[in-house]
Structure 1
């Protein structure tokens, strides 16, 4: 008969303890309750439990500090419970893959669901929110208590345990790199490097060098050997952000590496083996990108062994206000202040669609924090909402100018305003990145005089 999972409970709050103990009626496990007058880490180590439920207090907890470098961290699944006060030790533990961090008010049903998931894997192998607290749950580098986020947490746990390539699809600002990093943290490769590269920011002339490296003397300016990202991420995870923005003609080289697990640095005589887990991401609609020949379909199928959807903030019920409080709590803790959001501000946050997602919200709270003295009012929350303006009639366009010259001026001026970012330029002009590269190549050969 298979033994029951062993659960260690160190919770002082009587209500929380009662709620967690009640789970015994729906989950089967062997329970070990700590003696609060003794060091809980020593008790946990001696108990050899599979799962630990630990209530964290803001006062100095020597056990929590010691856990950061304790070997039991990689042997036990942790469920931390706190009142939401920012704690660097706890953040570090979660980022190292310790497990879940639940912030008050606690949803015991979600805790039970996550426990059941952990137990299943083992069997096969409301307090007041203040200006100093966050009440959102945390998993790895991700924060959110909505059902959409808890579904994402469960997906990450399953995918991270494999060596499968993952493709994260979602709008800008939804935290795709945080998802990729959390996949890495919970994977067997967690002790090896996590290397991220933005494919849309790569110069076409240097893509091969950035991906695969080069040897000294391979080309003009190659004064020394250079490690590409495949070598930098050896044994770990390589995150290819905005992979659909990689020039089309270079994508086949990436495909070859995925098929053969081999690559050759520029100018080198010998191939190298690639031992990396690939996580890619895009904010494009993939069907359109493949149809428009921006992204290779065969490369997509190689990368998307497991597609992961990054939920937009509008689909994360209740998380917008929670994230606003979360960002504010950490900003207050940083400066030792007690700024707070008014009820009207929270209502504005709740009602706004946040097209820029979590990134836009975080920037809005940062701006509001700077503008407000003590209380953040609605007028302090400045969003990035873009309002259409009527175009001026033929403004700045000389009579009789050729259409291709007007097009060139529009492209070069937009590129300059975006500090050379080709991806943003193509999006603003409504053309594909491939079309933009083709036009820029043409302009280099025939400058406007």
Structure 2
């Protein structure tokens, strides 16, 4: 069996020496670039299976050239950078499922990834297309905690398959980013990725949104309409908040998954459902089944590969790093040099973040606007500070009460706009109304 080829473009002599001496690199045919020559041309000539690139902003034209080649779809990539936000590198992460390790580099983790690739190349007939501060990155996901590194490895393994995937995780944990990264890591990355929030659809229009309709099929159908199954043809269809879909439509979706066919509303023609279905829920699927919200047979059809996304509370090693990561991007976008105060960083670590990564990101962006040169605790938690509460005590309450606090705070930030509030919280309008009604009845 032919050995896999590893292309190295490294500016650091120390890193180059460490890799060349590593046992994990010995299973590859190694090709080192000439630093004085454009590395993209060398990579094309090397016909490498995997490329390890030490990112330098001075080589920006090379990264632009890379996007114009077929290399992103034919070669696996690992980038190593200093962590300075850079639009060119961000664009590469969106174009393909690449690993991105930031300095200071955790060499054992990098070597583990090399070992994974080596086993993949030696045992798999079909290899997946890879994608896409101090935190490591895989595709659109950022984090260096053991939970996230395990998630990256799992995504790489399931991406080449055609199995349906059910992503389970709390609101704000990044389920759509996981789905998008799964798509970018698959062989269908060049095909459409279409996302639809099942909880935001009116029951009258679910069939039309899923399967499309023909002109004149019902009142208001003034023209033919493509449903999401047609829009995502050849690619990935992401069904978010699947447990919020009405049971009647769950039956129809199950039939499509079983037969691979569907019929647009008002049409006599049957269409093929040529998509990979990835669904997500912020509920416990078994509890949703017990509550009569989720059909058990649809669950088993969708959950050919269930995937659990860790909450931010379970990613303790990532919380401060994510805060600095979001702040770095704010600074880069606004050409500022703002920093987190020591007290603010400690408050971030003490807080429970019921809204997960989304809440942390919004908190940093809001604090960035409020702060002059330094982000302080009062910028991150203005409502709590104004009320005289201590940030460390905010999480010490029942989970249901924390959810209520998060919802009411988001509603206040959006000046009562329920649509924006539901979108920020990652829940449907229907779910938001139900919870607000419940709070009103309890008061």
| TM-score of Structure 1 vs Structure 2, range by shorter chain | 0.7 to 0.9
Mapped to 2, the partners of 1:417 and 1:350 lie a distance apart of 30
Mapped to 1, the partners of 2:349 and 2:198 lie a distance apart of 34
Mapped to 2, the partners of 1:29 and 1:176 lie a distance apart of 34
Alpha-carbon distance, 1:291 to partner: 0.6
Residues 330/250 of structure 1: CA separation in 2 closer, same or farther (3 Å cut): same
Q: Which deviations, in whole Å up to 9, do the C-alpha atoms of 1:164-203 show, x marking residues without a partner? A: 0000000000000000001111111111110000000000
Mapped to 2, the partners of 1:156 and 1:25 lie a distance apart of 21
The question of whether the paired residues in 2 share the 8 Å contact of 1:176 and 1:310 is answered with yes
Tell me, yes or no, if structure 1 residue 426 matches structure 2 residue 434.
Answer: yes
Query: Across the two proteins, how many residue pairs are aligned to each other?
Result: 396
The range that moved more, 420-429 or 262-271, is: 420-429
Match in the other structure for 1:341:
340
The question of whether the paired residues in 1 share the 8 Å contact of 2:11 and 2:54 is answered with yes
Q: Which deviations, in whole Å up to 9, do the C-alpha atoms of 1:267-300 show, x marking residues without a partner? A: 1112111101000000001111101111100000
Residues 107/232 of structure 1: CA separation in 2 closer, same or farther (3 Å cut): same
Tell me, yes or no, if structure 1 residue 54 matches structure 2 residue 53.
Answer: yes
Mapped to 2, the partners of 1:175 and 1:43 lie a distance apart of 37
Residues 430/187 of structure 1: CA separation in 2 closer, same or farther (3 Å cut): farther
1:290-329 map, 5 Å:
290-329=289-328
The question of whether the paired residues in 2 share the 8 Å contact of 1:27 and 1:116 is answered with no
Mapped to 2, the partners of 1:288 and 1:362 lie a distance apart of 30
SS of corresponding position for 2:223? coil
Q: Which runs of 5+ in 2 are unaligned?
A: 126-132, 384-393, 398-415, 420-427
Match in the other structure for 2:137:
138
The question of whether the paired residues in 2 share the 8 Å contact of 1:367 and 1:382 is answered with no
Q: Which deviations, in whole Å up to 9, do the C-alpha atoms of 1:247-286 show, x marking residues without a partner? A: 1222101111111111111111121111010000000011
Mapped to 2, the partners of 1:211 and 1:336 lie a distance apart of 43
The range that moved more, 78-87 or 417-426, is: 417-426
Alpha-carbon distance, 1:78 to partner: 1.0
SS of corresponding position for 2:306? strand
The question of whether the paired residues in 2 share the 8 Å contact of 1:164 and 1:305 is answered with yes
- Structure 1 segments of 4+ aligned residues over 3 angstroms from their partners: 24-27, 383-388, 416-420, 427-431
Q: If the length of structure 1 is used for normalisation, what is the TM-score?
A: 0.84
Residues 383/318 of structure 1: CA separation in 2 closer, same or farther (3 Å cut): farther
Residues 27/361 of structure 1: CA separation in 2 closer, same or farther (3 Å cut): farther
Mapped to 2, the partners of 1:156 and 1:430 lie a distance apart of 38
The question of whether the paired residues in 2 share the 8 Å contact of 1:194 and 1:237 is answered with yes
Tell me the C-alpha RMSD between the 2 structures. Answer: 2.0
SS of corresponding position for 2:316? coil
Alpha-carbon distance, 1:311 to partner: 0.6
Match in the other structure for 1:164:
163
Structure showing greater radius of gyration is 1
Tell me, yes or no, if structure 1 residue 82 matches structure 2 residue 107.
Answer: no
1:201-350 map, 5 Å:
201-350=200-349
SS of corresponding position for 2:99? strand
Mapped to 1, the partners of 2:435 and 2:114 lie a distance apart of 44
| Higher share of residues assigned helix | 2
Mapped to 1, the partners of 2:371 and 2:382 lie a distance apart of 15
The question of whether the paired residues in 1 share the 8 Å contact of 2:97 and 2:181 is answered with no
The question of whether the paired residues in 2 share the 8 Å contact of 1:264 and 1:272 is answered with yes
Mapped to 1, the partners of 2:346 and 2:87 lie a distance apart of 30
Mapped to 1, the partners of 2:342 and 2:23 lie a distance apart of 39
Q: Which deviations, in whole Å up to 9, do the C-alpha atoms of 1:215-243 show, x marking residues without a partner? A: 11111111111111111111111000000
Q: Which deviations, in whole Å up to 9, do the C-alpha atoms of 1:105-128 show, x marking residues without a partner? A: 111111111111111111123xxx
SS of corresponding position for 2:52? strand
SS of corresponding position for 1:78? strand
Mapped to 2, the partners of 1:70 and 1:201 lie a distance apart of 39
